[in-house]
Each structure stands twice: as structure tokens, then as C-alpha cells.
């Protein structure tokens, strides 16, 4: 019951969101996470709750409303989830997001590794490409600017401040994800999404440079 209620709650929070962090993203992450968790023998309830709540306190939305802080924690307490479990879930949510190409975000538990993998997989492939341009647009980023080269962000602060065009984001984040998967299952799933992004970038630059 708590899972169903959490689904409804998260759906009500992010339904119709337009930067790629909408309900359908959450649902895909949850479905992928469960698929991986079944293969990797993880605690399904922790994986599912963490996946459903993984973006509700995200830094990307903080500027919209500071009052959003602690949404996941409040919800879990309200639903009488045992304190130990809440602690584990909050730890996962805290570590899950990508904080820059040179910034390590190690995950302690197998459940956390799985949710992080599922979230990262959703940033790759055809869906990942669509989300990246949607997000870039929301941050007023150019699609591409050949005069601006990609850079490696060594701190989370630099990564957040980056105003670089969206094609750079592939080199600064998306193409690095394949080698950052935690689980063997996700590593395999990442391969075709990765090669599709390379194919896409080739095609994009071919058209841009009039070589097509």
C-alpha cells in the first residue's frame, strides 16, 4: 500500500514537469531499478521507494522552491517506514545524482548502486538525448556552439554553474556514464544506449558541418 501511495504522491508532485524530470522519468527509473534489483538480489522495497523518491529533493529544482527541502523524509515518516529504512533510503537519494564529471559519488549499498544505475541509464540513449535537450532548453543553453569546447568539472559547484551548450553535456556527462555503472546488469544495458548516443553525435555533427 505504501508503494502505491508513494507512486500517487510522486506523480502528483512531478506530473507534467518539462525538463525531463517528470513522472515518466521516475516511472522508467523505478521499472529499470526493479528489473536490475531482481537480477542482483536486492531489497525490492528499498529500491522501489528510493527510485520513486529519488528526484523529489533534487538540487536542480531547489531554486524553484526552497520549501521543497526534505520532501522524501517527511513522506517516509508520515507513512511510518521504520527509522533504519528511512536512513538507508535518504542516503541513497542524497548520493544518487550526478555532480560533475570529476566528482565521485560513491554508493554504499547495493540498493543505492541499483537506483543510481537506473537513473543514469535514463540519461542515456534516445530518451536520454531527448531529456538532455529539454533540460538544456530549460536552463537557456544553446543546442551547440562549436566555439565552446567541453570541460571536466572537478567540483559540484563548477558543474552547477556551467552554462555550456547541450552538445558539450554529452562529453561532460552522458558519454562517461557507461563506465560508471555499478552493477554488471546495468553495464550490459548501458552498451547499446552508449553506442546510439555516439551514432547520434556523429550524425548531428555531419549535418551541422554539411558533410551529410
Per CB under 5 A, residues contacting Fe ion are 55, 119
CA distance 64 to 62: 5
Rank residues 21 and 153 by Cβ distance to Fe ion and give the closer one: 21
Rank residues 79 and 97 by Cβ distance to Fe ion and give the closer one: 97
Taking the complex as a whole, the smallest distance from the CB of residue 30 to Fe ion amounts, in Å, to: 10
Contact 111, 88 (CB under 8 A): yes
CA distance 193 to 69: 33
Rank residues 73 and 119 by Cβ distance to Fe ion and give the closer one: 119
Q: What is the DSSP string of 44-75?
A: HHHHHHHHHHTTTT-HHHHTT-GGGTTHHHHH
Contact 105, 99 (CB under 8 A): yes
Residues 6+ apart with CB under 8 A from 74: none
Rank residues 34 and 205 by Cβ distance to Fe ion and give the closer one: 34
Q: Residue 29 CA to chain centroid, in angstroms?
A: 8
Q: What is the DSSP string of 91-119?
A: HHHHHHS---TT------SHHHHHHHHHH
Rank residues 138 and 144 by Cβ distance to Fe ion and give the closer one: 138
Rank residues 40 and 119 by Cβ distance to Fe ion and give the closer one: 119
CA atoms within a 13 Å half-sphere pointing along the CA-CB vector of 185: 18
Amino acid at each position: 500500500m505504501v508503494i502505491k501511495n508513494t507512486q500517487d504522491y510522486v506523480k502528483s508532485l512531478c506530473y507534467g514537469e518539462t525538463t525531463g524530470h517528470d513522472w515518466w522519468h521516475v516511472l522508467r527509473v523505478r521499472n529499470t531499478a526493479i528489473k536490475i534489483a531482481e537480477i542482483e538480489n536486492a531489497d525490492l522495497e528499498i529500491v522501489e521507494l528510493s527510485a520513486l523518491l529519488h528526484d523529489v529533493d533534487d538540487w536542480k529544482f531547489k531554486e524553484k522552491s526552497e520549501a521543497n527541502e526534505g520532501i522524501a523524509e517527511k513522506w517516509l515518516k508520515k507513512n511510518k517506514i521504520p527509522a533504519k529504512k528511512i536512513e538507508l533510503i535518504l542516503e541513497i537519494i542524497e548520493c544518487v545524482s550526478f555532480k560533475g564529471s570529476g566528482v565521485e559519488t560513491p554508493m554504499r549499498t547495493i540498493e543505492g548502486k541499483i537506483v543510481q544505475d537506473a537513473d543514469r541509464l535514463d540519461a542515456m540513449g534516445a530518451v536520454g538525448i531527448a531529456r538532455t535537450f529539454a533540460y538544456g532548453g530549460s536552463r537557456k543553453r544553446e543546442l551547440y556552439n562549436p566555439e565552446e569546447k567541453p570541460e571536466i568539472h572537478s567540483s559540484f559547484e563548477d558543474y552547477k554553474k556551467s552554462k555550456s551548450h547541450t552538445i558539450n553535456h554529452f562529453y561532460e556527462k552522458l558519454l562517461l556514464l557507461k563506465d560508471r555503472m555499478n552493477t554488471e546488469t546495468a553495464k550490459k544495458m548501458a552498451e547499446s544506449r552508449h553506442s546510439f548516443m555516439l551514432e547520434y553525435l556523429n550524425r548531428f555533427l555531419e549535418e551541422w558541418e554539411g558533410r551529410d
